[in-house]
Structure formats: C-alpha cells, structure tokens
C-alpha cells in the first residue's frame, strides 16, 4: 500500500500544453563579451595592454549582457591612465567582442578602480591628480563616477561634487 501511495505521488497529471511548457522554459542566457577578446582603440606605443577590471550586465535593456572593461598600457613605472570601454558581442564572430562606447579616455589622466555594473549603471572610482606637480605614481584625488544609458547614449554623473583626497 505504501508503494502505491508513493508511486501515485510521483505520477502527476500534465498541466497545460507542451507549447506553454516550452514557452515558459527560459532559453540559454547570452554570454557577456570576453574582455580579453576585444581590440581596444588604445595606443600604447608598442607596450602591452592590460585589462585591470571588468564587470558585466545588461546596460541598454536589450536582454543581452554587455561587458565594461578598464584598460591601460602596461608601463614600467608610474600610474598609467585608464580607459573604460563598453563591449558588446560581435554579431559576425560570436567568440569576439567589439567596443561600442568609451566612458573614460586616457587624456583625462585618471585611473579606474572598483568597476561595477548594477541596475543598468556603470560605477567606477576614479583616481586623479590635483595638479601637474603631483608625481604620476601617487594620485591624490578620488571621485565616484557613474554612467547610465539614456536616450541612446551614455550620460556621466559624478556623484562627488568635490573630489576627495586619497
């Protein structure tokens, strides 16, 4: 009798139709682009490039994740500036990634740390210099920057109105 009750508990009548079951099952999740697979528009004058941080998330609401990468030239000394790029999956090469936006460019002479993506917003702590006399090894200013996809482009918001000392 116990075996019959146990078997009856395992066998349940089908609910819904096969089409409804297939529609409810989530499809494979799209993979975020690999930051190592991208060709970055960063001129390092022959020095290698380094991806120092990356984060993934759906920034534009299309259901496919993007990757945000902080990239710098590998210099022998000092603190080389970062560029922050947004990558999307290359449609012609599923294993590839392509740069679709530059959030921070190297002429701004800032380094990026603590790169995150949350709620369709990119956040990074930016380290910089208060003046030209500050040694390039030792940034003395920090600020939190955020970028959000709005009206077809990224808009930057500096969350600290006055940069803080490091």
Q: How many domains does the chain have?
A: 1
Distance in angstroms (rounded) separating the CA atoms of residues 22 and 38: 35
3-state secondary structure 25-91: CCCCCCCCCCHHHECCCCCCCCCCEEEEEEEEECCCCCCCCEEEEEEEECCCCCCCCEEEEEEEECC
Q: Is residue 12 in a domain?
A: no
Q: Is residue 10 in a domain?
A: no
Q: C-alpha angle with apex 65: 91 to 87, nearest 5 degrees?
A: 60
Q: Is residue 49 in a domain?
A: yes
Greater confidence (77 vs 1) lies with 77
Domain hosting residue 122, numbered range: 35-165
What are 35's two structure tokens?
């930051």
Q: Is residue 22 in a domain?
A: no
pLDDT band at 2 (very low <50, low <70, confident <90, very high): very low
Q: Is residue 19 in a domain?
A: no
Distance in angstroms (rounded) separating the CA atoms of residues 116 and 59: 12
Provide mean pLDDT across the span 144-164: 79
Q: Is residue 11 in a domain?
A: no
Greater confidence (158 vs 43) lies with 43
Q: Is residue 25 in a domain?
A: no
pLDDT in tens, 35-66: 998 999 999 988 999 999 999 999 999 899 99
Q: Is residue 3 in a domain?
A: no
- N residues, the chain: 166
Residue that the structure tokens 């529609």 belong to: 23
Task: Write down the pLDDT at residue 160.
Answer: 57
Tell me phi and psi for residue 22, to 5 degrees: -65, -40
Question: What percentage of the chain exceeds 70 in pLDDT?
Answer: 78
Task: Write down the pLDDT at residue 133.
Answer: 92
């Amino acid at each position: 009798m116990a075996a019959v009750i146990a078997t009856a508990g395992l066998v349940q009548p089908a609910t819904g139709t096969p089409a409804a079951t297939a529609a409810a099952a989530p499809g494979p999740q799209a993979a975020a682009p690999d930051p190592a697979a991208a060709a970055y528009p960063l001129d390092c004058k022959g020095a290698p490039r380094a991806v120092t941080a990356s984060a993934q998330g759906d920034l534009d609401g299309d259901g496919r994740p993007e990757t945000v990468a902080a990239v710098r030239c590998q210099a022998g000394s000092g603190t080389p500036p970062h560029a922050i790029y947004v990558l999307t999956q290359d449609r012609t090469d599923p294993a590839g990634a392509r740069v679709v936006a530059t959030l921070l460019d190297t002429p701004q002479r800032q380094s990026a740390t603590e790169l995150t993506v949350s709620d369709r917003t990119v956040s990074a702590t930016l380290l910089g210099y208060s003046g030209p006399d500050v040694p390039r090894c030792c940034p003395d200013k920090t600020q939190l920057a955020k970028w959000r996809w709005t009206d077809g482009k990224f808009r930057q918001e500096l969350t600290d109105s006055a940069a803080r000392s490091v």
